Structures are given as structure tokens and as C-alpha cells.
Amino acid sequence: MAKQKRVFIVHAKRTPFSKFGGQLGGFSPVDLAVYATQALFSDISLNPELIDQVLFANVIPSTPDTLYAGRHLALKCGLKVSTPGAVINRLCGSGIQVILDATRLIKMGEASSVLVAGAETMSLAPHLVYGGRFGTKYGGLKTQDLLLDTLTDQYVQTPMGITAEQLATDFNISKLDSDHYAFLSHQKAAQAYDQGLIQPELAFIKKDKVHCEKDEHLRLDVSMDEIQKLKPTFKKDGCVTAGSASGIVDGAASMLIASEDFVMAQGLSPMAEIIDGHVVGVDPKIMGIGPVPAIEILLARQNKKLEEIDLFEINEAFAPQVMACQKALKIPDDKLNIWGGAIALGHPLGATGIKISLTLSRQLKHLKKEWGIASACIGGGQGIALLIKKV
């Protein structure tokens, strides 16, 4: 058999994540991804024409051009006209999915370098009108909020927040526990900002009156008392509040995935090696537990023990959701989301998987650690995980 190709995360950048209705709310997902991609190419001085394919992660096509996102990103960033592009949607796992898909393309010999990007402009999520095309016999037109519907699993008629509440019950997580986790997420992110650890990820956006240079959802001055005062959102006596749920934000992330031969030929210094990944289905009513079996199967396939993994980035969809995963896997506090997570920084659906993989790669290098896993739960009942190794 031919020797398996090694595949690397070469470099990545992301825009700041702006709050719902914030500074980036008027940009299309494609244009946000352009900013991140241009910053990526600038950092490593790479000719865009060397890229073989583009994969774009997006969940809510909030503007018409988002349907063409992979192709338009290629054209707007100076890639060859012959470079194909695709849009991938595995809901909250989309960002990790495009990384896995790019890795497979390279291992199969169909590409040497793949640009993967993810973006979401949740502020522009449209309201859909049904019945207007052919008219209605009686009554008014039906209007639906695509953002609300995206965050609700239609199969089980359950908002994502209720699935987190079920995990809180199953794992005996109190509102106080949940609030404390949320407070720590902000605290860790604020500390990382203070130490200049997050800023190198960012591609600043300055256009007209927009000057976005930091994550807008992060509260540097938030107190535990403020978080505790927030009322449950989904269940009368529940845990999940606006303070312990991931932030609804706008943003994009872009990453270059490449083969060892490409890296050597271009004289590039990769951030991390992609070792393996796995996706699995779970009960939709507890969709947030998805990272647990995804990580367990991934580790078993690689003959590794959880204790051998130095750092974990598990997307913080909701505090009790990520806490349940931590409890089930027995992950130490000092290995999980050490620079804060989506509760503090926000969760732009299609961009998140790339963002946490970027952050994890940088954490491994900064702390001189070797192994890391990025993972996310996925609406509809799935989990996805990515295993990487510091170069």
C-alpha cells in the first residue's frame, strides 16, 4: 500500500465575532470570509493561485450569494478561475466537517492544498414568506423566522436549549453550576485577551464606519452576580439563560489545509498535523452529548487514552451541555476551553469549528503541548471530533 499522506493545518485567521445586530451585521457571510482569507494569505505570503479547492461551511444562507459561497470566495480572493468551490452544511459541526473533507481530498490525491472557510451572518437571517408565489385561498401569508427555526430541531420539535436542559437533569447540573461555568468562560477569555493570546487570530475589519478589532460579545466586566440574576430562557426552573448560552454573533474563519509535499515545496511552517476525525449520531433529545461518543470512538481508533490528550476545545453551545460532556469524559478543568469559549466569544454556526481548531492549534504551540481535540455537538443529534498534533 502507498504511504499515507500527512496533512497539515498550515495557517488560519478569523474575523472578530460581532454581537447580534452589531458592527458586522451588514456583511454577507462571503464577504466576511474574504477578510479572513485575505489576512491568511497575507500572513504566509502565499499565492492564492496555488490553492486546488475551496470548501465553505455555512448553515443559514442569509444572503443569496451565500448559496455560491465556495465559488465566490475563490473568485473574490484571486484563486484560479478553474478552482472549484462547494458549500457544506453539517449545522454546528460544519467548520470541522470542511476540515475533515479537505483532509480526505488530500489523502485521496485529489488536491494538495484546500482552502476551508466558514461564516455566518446571523443578524441577516431572513424571515421566510410562504404562499406568496402562487397566492393563498384564505388568510394571510405564512411568515417564519429562519434563525429561530435553525435553532429548533423540527424532527423532535425541540429548541436546542431544551436539549441542554435535559442534559442538566441527566447529569445533575444546577443553575448555579451552569452560571459559574458561564462566568468562567468570560473570565478565561478576558484573561486571554489581556495576555494578548487571542488577538493574533483576528483579521481586523475596517471599512467606512466599521472598525471591528475585537470580539464584541465578550463582557470584560461581567460578574457572577449579574449572571445569576438572569432568568431561565427555555424552562421555568431550568439552567439555561441568556448568560449561559452561546452568543448569537456574526463572523468568519478561514484555514489552509495542505499536504506535506505542498508545505515543503512552498517553504511553509504548519501549525499542526491533522491526525483523524469522526462523526457520530446521538439521540436528538440530548444532541449536546454528541462530542462524547465522537471523541471516544476517535480515541479508540487511534489507540489513545483520554489522559494522553493535552487540550480540548469543545464548543460551548450551552453551559450544561459542555459540562455534561466534561463530566462524561472526565476532562480536567485545566484542559478544557482554556481561553474561554462560545459563551463568552459567540458561536457563528458555520465558522465555529474552524475557529476552535485554530485556537486549539495555537494553544498547543503556545503551551508546548502535543495532542489536542476539537469537538462540537450538532443539532439533530450528532457529534464531531478532530484530533490534531503539534508540529
Give the single-character DSSP code of 232. P
Look at residues 49, 7, 14 and name the one whose alpha carbon lies nearest to residue 255. Answer: 14
Distance CA 194, CA 8 (A): 29
SS3 content of the chain, % helix, strand, coil (to 5): 40, 25, 35
**What angle do helix axes 319-329 and 291-301 make, rounded to 10 degrees?**
30
Q: Which residues are catalytic?
A: 92, 377
Q: Where are the alpha helices (DSSP H) in the chain?
A: 29-44, 69-76, 94-107, 146-150, 160-170, 175-194, 224-229, 260-266, 291-301, 319-329, 342-345, 349-367
- Beta-bridge partner residues of 239: none
Distance CA 178, CA 316 (A): 11
> Left, alpha or beta for 58 (phi > 0: left; psi -120 to 50: alpha)?
beta
**Residues 381, 314, 295, CA angle at the centre, nearest 5°?**
65
And the C-alpha cell for 96?
470541522
And the C-alpha cell for 16?
472578530
